[in-house]
Structure 1
């Protein structure tokens, strides 16, 4: 019986860690999604600019003039990187969810076994 309790405690700790990892992945994905929306907004602004308009980049407290091609390339590169990171995190999230479901099944199985053992012990003493 003590062995079952130790196993249950270990499974419970693993389950909690998996849930925490899942939550961190979901939060990271949400941050990336916010960054993606921000960069898509910048990309949309670039599309509305006329060819002769100037683009400035804020670096610390200073605005520096930036080449339009370079600015667009930077934003496109960011969007590509963010898209890849979101895909990677979605894979991690799916994997974590599958692991959580597996642990949940193991916990239920141990609980069922413990209840059956407790029920069997009560039947013998009665």
Structure 2
């Protein structure tokens, strides 16, 4: 009976380890996306600083596909500010998601340790008998 318990626990341990691996992949993917958004945020903040240096009558062009299209300075400013707002909101959302995933990861690690301890105690009890 003890060996079937150990087998069941080992199966449970394997399932929990697979779940943990999936969580770790999700966390890594989230970090990659966050990194991309952080770079974009920096670029957009730099563009905003450059736009703030321009005079009101300055020509501003926006690249749309292969074409440079003249754009109003106020409109360009507003577009960049909206983009910064959006990227900041996405970063906050990603931070919350990563925090949630890390909490789940920690609870999975604890569950795995408990199962490992149960297996060890069953094997130790079996060894004495």
TM-score > 0.5, shorter chain as reference? yes
Q: Measure, in 2, the Cα distance between the counterparts of 1:24 and 1:33.
A: 14
RMSD: 0.6
1:24 aligned onto 2:23? no
Q: Measure, in 2, the Cα distance between the counterparts of 1:67 and 1:49.
A: 12
How far did 1:103 drift? 0.2
Regions of 4+ moved over 6 Å? none
How far did 1:54 drift? 0.4
1:72 aligned onto 2:94? no
Question: How many residue pairs were aligned?
Answer: 124
Deviations for 1:67-120, whole angstroms, at most 9, x for unmatched residues?
Answer: 111111110000001011000000000001000000000000000110111000
1:122 aligned onto 2:121? no
1:104 aligned onto 2:109? yes
How far did 1:14 drift? 0.1
- What secondary structure is seen at the aligned counterpart in 1 of 2:10? helix
How far did 1:61 drift? 1.3
Structure 2: 5+ residue runs without aligned partners? 1-5
1:35 aligned onto 2:40? yes
Q: Measure, in 1, the Cα distance between the counterparts of 2:66 and 2:20.
A: 46
Q: Measure, in 1, the Cα distance between the counterparts of 2:63 and 2:7.
A: 63
Q: Measure, in 1, the Cα distance between the counterparts of 2:84 and 2:58.
A: 23
- What secondary structure is seen at the aligned counterpart in 2 of 1:9? helix
